[in-house]
Amino acid sequence: MPKKLRIAVIGCGGIAVTHHLPRYEEMADVTVIALADPDPQHLNTAGERFGVARRYANYEEMLAREEIDAVDICTPNHLHTAPVFAAVRAGCHVLCQKPIATTIEDATTMIEAARAAGVVLGIIYMQRFMKCYLTAKHLIDCGTIGRVTFLRARMGHAGGLSASVAPERWRHSFANLAGSFSLLAVHHADLMRWYAGPVKQVAAIGKTLVCSMEGDDNMACLLEFENGAVGVLESCYNERPGSNVVEVYGDLGTLVCQTDGSLRYFATSEVETMLPMGGVGGEGTEWQVLPPDRQPAISDFESYHAHWVHCLRTGRPPVTPGEEGRASLEIVVAAYESSAGGRFVALRHQRW
Ligand SMILES: NC(=O)c1ccc[n+]([C@@H]2O[C@H](COP(=O)([O-])OP(=O)(O)OC[C@H]3O[C@@H](n4cnc5c(N)ncnc54)[C@H](O)[C@@H]3O)[C@@H](O)[C@H]2O)c1
């Protein structure tokens, strides 16, 4: 691999400009060598802001002309599969935004194509590197709350009320797997699996109550995990001021990852004395709150992108390869199926 990892970005809209390109800009051993987007305004705005001169309207042309090590795909949900195939064919490693695809079948063919080509397919779940969620995972793994029995997660914001869901935009159409559940809850579906393991079955109700879009703006899903735990996963696209909360209940304690990034926890006094975080502690029978600046440094990486680049350099697999992306997509797809049919839906792709 060359000294500087050569990355190309396909899709230069919202998330590429706010989260992907800024992360690469922070890394000395990475260069973004080219961008592709058919929208000239998005392409040129991103190119000028991040100093990328080589710009293409067509990603196939970019892949044919440039020497690229890895491609980062930030296109709309229904436009992930084609560029992933093209990048894999060109021998590039691929990082793709969530959800991996709009169908399980597409996700499976993407995973198989990457495997056959010997390239790495990573699906980006940025919350896996947020301090609060990492600390929660660490405490769960250390046994701080004992056996996980119940999880509740909610993500909501007012994005469904914005112009980005107008009929001509991709977020309007449910065929693009654009709803509050697929756009927001898919993050927590991933975290819940991380905390409690594979999901056995789900049942859900989704509705479009307020927003001018085809997809759901409010949805609630019940989950049964293979280990017997139960969960509730909620999304709302008309929520003010917005929330991002994950609660995990065990037989020895409780963890609440709060919207402001703080971690509230309660652990029995025996467990409290064993907490693997120096200097935290407390009386042992009261709620404790750890603001972000008092949460321990669990990961060596500040961001998913830093982890991804490290994986490419060392040959380590990413924490969320294509199979993890398919597993969280499966929860979303099954929840929609349940909501449409009014029944529980059993899952098949949680283990790989
Ligand atoms: N992780 C997160 O928190 C998060 C947040 C927002 C969006 N996303 C995901 O990121 C993806 C993009 O979302 P967004 O908000 O940036 O959307 P967006 O509409 O702002 O940007 C998408 C860009 O892709 C471009 N595009 C469309 N077809 C293309 C093609 N054939 N080749 C190259 N570019 C093409 C569009 O012109 C646009 O610039 C979606 O899958 C979405 O679910 C993730």
112-155 confidence digits (pLDDT tens): 999 999 999 999 999 999 999 999 999 999 998 999 999 999 99
| DSSP-assigned letter for residue 61 | H
Q: Report CA(283)–ligand 1 centroid distance (Å).
A: 47
Q: Is residue 350 part of a domain?
A: no
Does residue 275 sit in the same domain as residue 317?
no
304 lines ligand 1 (CB under 6 A): no
- CA separation for the pair 255, 135 (Å, rounded): 10
Q: Report CA(246)–ligand 1 centroid distance (Å).
A: 26
User: What tokens were used for 137?
Assistant: 């995972």
86 lines ligand 1 (CB under 6 A): no
Contact between residue 123 and residue 111 where contact means Cβ atoms under 8 Å apart: no
Q: What is the CATH number of the domain that holds 210?
A: 3.30.360.10
Express each pLDDT in 243-274 by its tens digit. 999 999 999 999 999 999 999 999 876 666 65
Report residue 42's pLDDT band, with 50, 70 and 90 as the boundaries.
very high
261 lines ligand 1 (CB under 6 A): no
Contact between residue 74 and residue 305 where contact means Cβ atoms under 8 Å apart: no
75 lines ligand 1 (CB under 6 A): yes
Q: What is the mean pLDDT of residues 186-200?
A: 98
Does residue 163 sit in the same domain as residue 230?
yes
Domain that holds residue 79: 5-127+303-321
Overall domain count for the chain: 2
Does residue 37 sit in the same domain as residue 121?
yes
DSSP H/E element including 250? strand 243-250
- For residue 169, is pLDDT > 50? yes
Q: Report CA(198)–ligand 1 centroid distance (Å).
A: 28
Does residue 111 sit in the same domain as residue 135?
no
Does residue 12 sit in the same domain as residue 89?
yes
Taking the CA atoms of the chain, what radius of gyration do you get in angstroms?
20
- For residue 297, is pLDDT > 60? yes
Q: Is residue 49 part of a domain?
A: yes
- CA separation for the pair 311, 331 (Å, rounded): 26
59 lines ligand 1 (CB under 6 A): yes
Q: Report CA(75)–ligand 1 centroid distance (Å).
A: 4
Does residue 53 sit in the same domain as residue 104?
yes
Express each pLDDT in 43-69 by its tens digit. 999 999 999 999 999 999 999 999 999
Place of tokens 């998330």: 15
Q: What is the CATH number of the domain that holds 92?
A: 3.40.50.720
| DSSP-assigned letter for residue 317 | P
Torsion over CA of 115, 118, 122 and 128, rounded to 10 degrees? 100
Does residue 287 sit in the same domain as residue 307?
no
Q: Name the residue of 75, 170, 176 whose CB sits within 8 Å of the most ligand 1 atoms, as the mutation to test its pocket.
A: 75
Angle between helices 81-89 and 104-117 in degrees, nearest 10: 10
Place of tokens 């989704």: 206
DSSP H/E element including 329? helix 322-341
Atom 6 (ligand 1): residue with closest C-alpha? 15
Q: Report CA(178)–ligand 1 centroid distance (Å).
A: 12
Q: What is the pLDDT of residue 267?
A: 84
Q: Is residue 82 part of a domain?
A: yes
User: What tokens were used for 145?
Assistant: 């709350």
Contact between residue 275 and residue 267 where contact means Cβ atoms under 8 Å apart: yes
- CA separation for the pair 206, 336 (Å, rounded): 7
79 lines ligand 1 (CB under 6 A): yes
Q: Report CA(211)–ligand 1 centroid distance (Å).
A: 20
Does residue 138 sit in the same domain as residue 284?
yes
Q: What is the pLDDT of residue 279?
A: 44
Query: How many CA atoms lie less than 13 Å away from 103 in the CB half-sphere?
Result: 5
pLDDT > 70 fraction of the chain, expressed in percent and rounded: 95
Whole-number Cα distances in Å, 171 to 59, 72, 73, 177, 343: 22, 20, 17, 8, 26
pTM: 0.96
Q: What is the pLDDT of residue 296?
A: 86
Does residue 148 sit in the same domain as residue 222?
yes
97 lines ligand 1 (CB under 6 A): yes
Q: Report CA(77)–ligand 1 centroid distance (Å).
A: 7
Does residue 166 sit in the same domain as residue 226?
yes
Q: What is the mean pLDDT of residues 17-35?
A: 98
Place of tokens 């690229």: 68
- For residue 2, is pLDDT > 80? no
Q: Report CA(258)–ligand 1 centroid distance (Å).
A: 27
Q: Is residue 351 part of a domain?
A: no
Contact between residue 343 and residue 192 where contact means Cβ atoms under 8 Å apart: no
Does residue 64 sit in the same domain as residue 212?
no
Q: Is residue 265 part of a domain?
A: yes
Q: Is residue 352 part of a domain?
A: no
317 lines ligand 1 (CB under 6 A): no
Does residue 150 sit in the same domain as residue 249?
yes
DSSP string, 64-76: HHS--SEEEE---
Exposed, middle or buried, 269 (CB in 10 Å: 0-12/13-18/19+)? exposed
Task: Look at strands 70-73 and 243-250 and give their pairing.
Answer: unpaired
